[in-house]
């Protein structure tokens, strides 16, 4: 029996990217004979974007549909990629056209068996603006003695938004960096209280819309 995939896309104000992404991802998953559900989680407020929080929300609201989950940025269209089940958390990328991939890179397109994502308490909810949440995610695996892997995926980055390129312009950049450094060096147990377990007070659902090829979940962050 095929494992069921939940593919979650964090999203805001990227209509042209989403228009290109949905035909690509549905065709690719169908060609790989994968049983899947796609959820696009849209941040409907004007606060700084919070990728980790949006991905946690998508997982919490739809986890009953899956055996494993892939967290997928909307601006990545892959030439070579395998979305099939892995028995350990796995970065699906080894090559990108417009950004570097470094040792321990765990962003962009990342796969988790459901039980492993639950074990690490999901993403941190505390990284506002771009950057940090994916490195924090990798550290959560390390601190839980969960082995990670990498597949040989190759992707084309669509046009990157300025916030992704110039992360130091983010007013929360120094806070994000300090949080990550503290987590790495002080070996804190903050991940036990910051993540899926701390989610109920962090958002409000605006609406869920069945778009035929995917579900659109619109949320306000608190």
Mean pLDDT, residues 103-119: 93
What residue ranges in the chain does DSSP mark as E strands? 4-11, 35-43, 68-72, 76-80, 90-91, 95-96, 109-113, 149-150, 154-157, 203-210, 215-221
pLDDT per residue over 71-108, tens digit each?
Answer: 999 999 998 899 999 999 999 987 776 666 777 789 89
pLDDT for res 97:
66
Q: Which of the four pLDDT bands, split at 50, 70 and 90, describes residue 161?
A: low
Q: φ and ψ at 71, to 5 degrees?
A: -95, 120
Tokens (6 digits) for 94: 């080894």
CA dist 87 and 114 (Å) reads 10
Asked if residues 208 and 58 have their Cβ atoms less than 8 Å apart, the reply is no
* Angular region, 118: left φ>0, alpha ψ -120 to 50, beta rest: alpha
Model-level pTM? 0.93
- Residues facing 205 on adjacent strands: 219
> How much is the pLDDT for 167?
56
**Please, is 33 exposed, middle or buried when counting C-beta atoms within 10 Å of its C-beta (0-12, 13-18, 19+)?**
exposed
- Please give the residue that has the higher pLDDT: either 73 or 131: 73
Q: What is the pLDDT of residues 47-74, one digit of tens each?
A: 999 999 999 999 999 999 999 999 999 9
First CA to last CA distance, the chain: 40
Residue 217: closest CA among 31, 63, 33, 16: 63
At 186, which CATH number? 3.90.550.10
Q: Which residues, 6 or more positions from 80, have their beta carbon under 8 angstroms from its beta carbon? A: 152, 153, 154
Bigger pLDDT: 165 vs 180 = 180
- Asked if residue 34 lies in contact with residue 73, where contact means CB atoms within 8 angstroms, the answer is no
Domain that holds residue 132: 4-221
> Cα(165)–Cα(161) distance, rounded to whole angstroms?
7
How many domains are contained in the chain? 1
Angle between helix 133-143 and 51-62 (nearest 10): 60
pLDDT digits (tens, 9 = 90+) for 169-185: 667 788 888 888 888 88
Contacts of 184 (CB under 8 A, 6+ apart): 139
């Amino acid at each position: 029996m095929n494992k069921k995939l939940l593919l979650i896309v964090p999203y805001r104000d990227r209509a042209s990217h989403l228009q290109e992404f949905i035909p690509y991802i549905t065709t690719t998953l169908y060609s790989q004979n994968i049983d899947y559900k796609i959820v696009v989680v849209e941040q409907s407020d004007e606060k700084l974007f919070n990728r980790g929080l949006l991905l946690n929300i998508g997982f919490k609201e739809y986890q009953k549909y899956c055996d494993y989950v892939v967290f997928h940025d909307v601006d990545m269209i892959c030439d070579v990629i395998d979305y099939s089940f892995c028995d350990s958390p796995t970065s699906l990328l080894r090559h990108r056209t417009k950004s570097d991939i470094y040792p321990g890179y765990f962003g962009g397109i990342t796969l988790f068996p459901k039980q492993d994502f639950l074990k690490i308490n999901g993403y941190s909810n505390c990284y506002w603006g771009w950057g940090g949440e994916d490195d924090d995610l990798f550290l959560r695996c390390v601190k839980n003695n969960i082995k990670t892997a990498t597949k040989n995926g190759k992707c084309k980055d669509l046009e990157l938004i300025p916030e992704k390129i110039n992360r130091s312009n983010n007013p929360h950049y120094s806070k994000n960096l300090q949080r990550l450094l503290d987590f790495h060096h002080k070996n804190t147990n903050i991940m036990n209280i910051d993540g899926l377990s701390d989610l109920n007070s962090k958002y409000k659902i605006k609406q869920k819309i069945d778009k035929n090829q995917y579900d659109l979940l619109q949320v306000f962050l608190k």
